[in-house]
A and B are shown apart, each in its own frame.
Chain A
Amino acid sequence: SQQGEEDPQALSIQEGENATMNCSYKTSINNLQWYRQNSGRGLVHLILIRSNEREKHSGRLRVTLDTSKKSSSLLITASRAADTASYFCATERSYQLTFGKGTKLSVIP
């Protein structure tokens, strides 16, 4: 069963713009992770934020976590065509990762 729900389901932006994706979940978690999946390829881990953290940065990525609202957001700044992919949030609880359905991001050159 899917715990995380990403929003929007699809997003199309121009190169150089920022992209924001949101994730909501239902139960308490140990941490929340974001993954990227290019067409026909495996998932690549992007960033992990723990339940006691509120914000984390990694390069052009910024992740926030609001445990009171059970939600997270992923911001990609200065997007590039190579950022075109599906992005999944995954919540970890009891050693198990539960993925959402993903946001399909298209960055137009």
Chain B
Amino acid sequence: EAGVVQSPRYKIIEKKQPVAFWCNPISGHNTLYWYRQNLGQGPELLIRYENEEAVDDSQLPKDRFSAERLKGVDSTLKIQPAELGDSAVYLCASSLTLAAIVETDTQYFGPGTRLTVL
């Protein structure tokens, strides 16, 4: 079974430029998450989707960040314009359900996109 796919793996841009990340979750997983992981820190949730609906975007900086999950499958996360402080690894994860009803409902993470803003 294929895991969570993310692209690109690495992205280097200059500040004020736009950037977009793409995520393809595990087939059949209804819930999709975007996290940001700063160096030396754990991941922090940006947004959570249940199918195509964003059920929790309270930690998404909406002035420059946007996300979509068309048709409840793939998702894109966009930053426009990027700032120096946005340099981080952006992780996508998916799970079968919103709650870990059974252990197999836990989140599966992609390899991430490492963003460097110069």
Contact = CB atoms under 8 A, between A and B. Distances in A.
A95 B109 contact: no
Nearest to A100: B42
- Chain B interface main SS type: loop
Contact of A97 (B40, B45, B110): B45
Interface stretch (A12-20, A37-45, A76-84): A37-45
A96 B4 contact: no
Interface in A90-109: 90, 92, 95-102
Point out which of A33, A44, A95 has the most chain B C-beta atoms below 10 A from its C-beta.
A95
B33 to A, nearest CB: 8
A96 B42 CA distance: 14
A1 B43 CA distance: 10
B41 A101 contact: yes
Interface string B38-53: 0011111100100000
Contacts, number: 54
B56 interface: yes
B48 A96 contact: yes
A48 B44 contact: no
B100 A48 contact: yes
A45 B33 CA distance: 15
Interface of A: 1-2, 4, 30-31, 33, 35, 41-45, 48, 88, 90, 92, 95-102
Q: Nearest 6 pairs between A and B by C-beta?
A: A99-B42, A42-B109, A43-B109, A42-B111, A45-B106, A95-B98
